[in-house]
Structure 1
Amino acid sequence: MTSSSEVYIEGTSDDPVVRARAAVRDAHDRLRAGLATAVRGTPQDGGQHGPVEFCTGELRRHLTATEQTLYAAASGAAGTRLLVRALRTTAGALDRRIDGLAGDGDAASVAAGARAVEAILDVHLTAEETVLLPALADLPGADLPGLVADLTTLLEGGRLDTPSVVDVREIPHGQRHPRIFARYARLAPGEGFVLVNNHDPKPLRREFEATHPGTHTWDYVESGPDVWRVRIGRAAAEG
């Protein structure tokens, strides 16, 4: 398989999708190891954090970043909507456990709560690795390497671009749809952006209707003959 920037064989270590899945697993392994150390170790001044600090800090940041990238991309697609709903349920359980952990006063309660977080987290991350990532890799319009790059940006303290206008006229054809779907994934319900193209994006509309039925809006602002502008939005109340 070829792209505008590299040549690789699908399914090998050079495949961007394989590298993206490995990057997520590495991040998960670091999270598991960090929590295990926080649960079983002894915090030192200026050194490792205890379980409360780790869970309210690094773990919660990871959950938020995953929601804003991987979950956002899969939540509106018909084939992955229920999967994301299930993952959000366990993420919510983790969040409640973290809140309880922060309110625990004695060391024994903190330790017991942290071990509960650790057990739920392991199941949660395994589901992401074995079910969500393969589903995103196969989801039409989704760009798993791009989503993982966005996840990494957030985990490193960066911010994602949210342009109100996405002009794809100078973007190679094979990169247009992933760029558009990635921008769509960052929309909150009721928000939208304007797509600018040099032809009527009917194939893109069919792709949206197939993968995001009932959860997106599509309104022509300008219809040629040289420029097409379409406002693409996330429905205010998704099904």
Structure 2
Amino acid sequence: MPAAEIFIQATETDPDVIARGAVREAHERLLSGLADLTTTQPVAQGSEPRSAELVDFCLHEVRRYLTTADRDLYGPATEDDETRLLADALRVGAAAVNAQIDELATAGSVDAARLGVMIMAALDTQLQIEESVLLPALAGLPGVDPSLLTSGLQAYLAGERVEQSTVIDVRRIARGGRHPRVFARYAGLAPGEAFILVNSHDPKPLRREFEARYRGAFSWDYLQAGPEEWRVRIGRVAVDA
């Protein structure tokens, strides 16, 4: 087995540990930031309200996290019957938090403090479900590598702008992680969008998996068929309204 595929379970090289660590770190950053900005300040001492900072944190930090989680965690979860309802419920919760952020953006300083506390409470529940229910459920799905699903969260933690790659060269991915990476990318596609898969051989086994899981919902077009490199455009079929 290649060295890149070897990990020691329950250590820092275990994919589950990597995923849990990234999710927990992101959650702690959000909740500690909100706790700091919603702490009551003594007006008698002339301290200025921090409502502007709170609005900025929610509009940028919280919303950036929710967008990343929707794509990297909720999206893949909707592709399996066992986790679809859970992902749908989390998306409802995220929509409620976003609605509160909209209200916060136009609120006065007094209402902003109240809304900040409400957002923190709602987000705390959301994040607890992600960490204690969703992530273990995803880890239990066949062929899913949680550390690949949370790569976007790791970029979020690093302050990087998360871009969805339009090309996935699976030759650079360890065996065992290739198909999960491809399916995670497919889950993030909007109807009509596509990405390009690059491989050193004809990915027929992967196509059979797509047929079994997404028959009629995906497109598969060969752009290059060997002899040393195969390129396939894989897309999510747009559904007519």
In which range does the TM-score fall when normalised by the shorter chain? 0.7 to 0.9
2:147 to 141, 145, 148: 145
State whether structure 2 residue 189 is matched by structure 1 residue 190: no
2:58 to 52, 55, 61: 55
| Aligned ranges 1:187-226 → 2 under 5 Å | 187-212=189-214, 215-220=217-222
Task: Name the counterpart of 1:102.
Answer: 105
Q: Is the 8 A contact 1:193 1:233 kept in 2?
A: yes
State whether structure 2 residue 64 is matched by structure 1 residue 65: no
State whether structure 2 residue 19 is matched by structure 1 residue 17: no
Task: Name the counterpart of 2:25.
Answer: 26
The 1-side partners of 2:60 and 2:227 are apart by 52
Residue 132 (structure 1) shift: 1.4
Residues 80 and 202 of structure 1: CA distance in aligned 2, closer, same or farther (over 3 Å): farther
Q: What RMSD in Å do the two structures reach over aligned CA positions?
A: 3.2
State whether structure 2 residue 77 is matched by structure 1 residue 74: yes
Task: Name the counterpart of 2:7.
Answer: 8
Q: Which runs of 5 or more residues in structure 2 are unaligned?
A: none
TM-score (norm 2): 0.79
Q: Is the 8 A contact 1:140 1:207 kept in 2?
A: no
TM-score (norm 1): 0.80
Task: Summarize deviations over 1:147-172 as a string: whole Å, max 9, x none.
Answer: 22222213433234544443435654
Task: Summarize deviations over 1:97-139 as a string: whole Å, max 9, x none.
Answer: 11111111241x2222222212211111111111211122233
Q: Is the 8 A contact 1:190 1:234 kept in 2?
A: yes
The 2-side partners of 1:164 and 1:54 are apart by 30
SS of the residue aligned with 2:168? strand
Residue 33 (structure 1) shift: 1.6
Q: For structure 1, which segment, 178-187 or 208-217, has the greater mean C-alpha deviation from structure 2 after superposition?
A: 208-217
> Could you tell me which amino acid in structure 1 is paired with residue 58 of structure 2?
C
Aligned length: 235
Residues 138 and 49 of structure 1: CA distance in aligned 2, closer, same or farther (over 3 Å): farther
SS of the residue aligned with 1:173? coil
Residues 235 and 42 of structure 1: CA distance in aligned 2, closer, same or farther (over 3 Å): farther
Residue 65 (structure 1) shift: 1.9
> Could you tell me which amino acid in structure 1 is paired with residue 129 of structure 2?
A
The 2-side partners of 1:123 and 1:171 are apart by 35
Task: Name the counterpart of 2:161.
Answer: 159
Residue 214 (structure 1) shift: 5.4
Q: Which runs of 5 or more residues in structure 1 are unaligned?
A: none
Residue 49 (structure 1) shift: 6.6
> Could you tell me which amino acid in structure 1 is paired with residue 9 of structure 2?
E
The 2-side partners of 1:100 and 1:185 are apart by 31
Task: Name the counterpart of 1:129.
Answer: 131
Residues 166 and 114 of structure 1: CA distance in aligned 2, closer, same or farther (over 3 Å): closer
Q: For structure 1, which segment, 188-197 or 168-177, has the greater mean C-alpha deviation from structure 2 after superposition?
A: 168-177
Task: Name the counterpart of 1:168.
Answer: 170
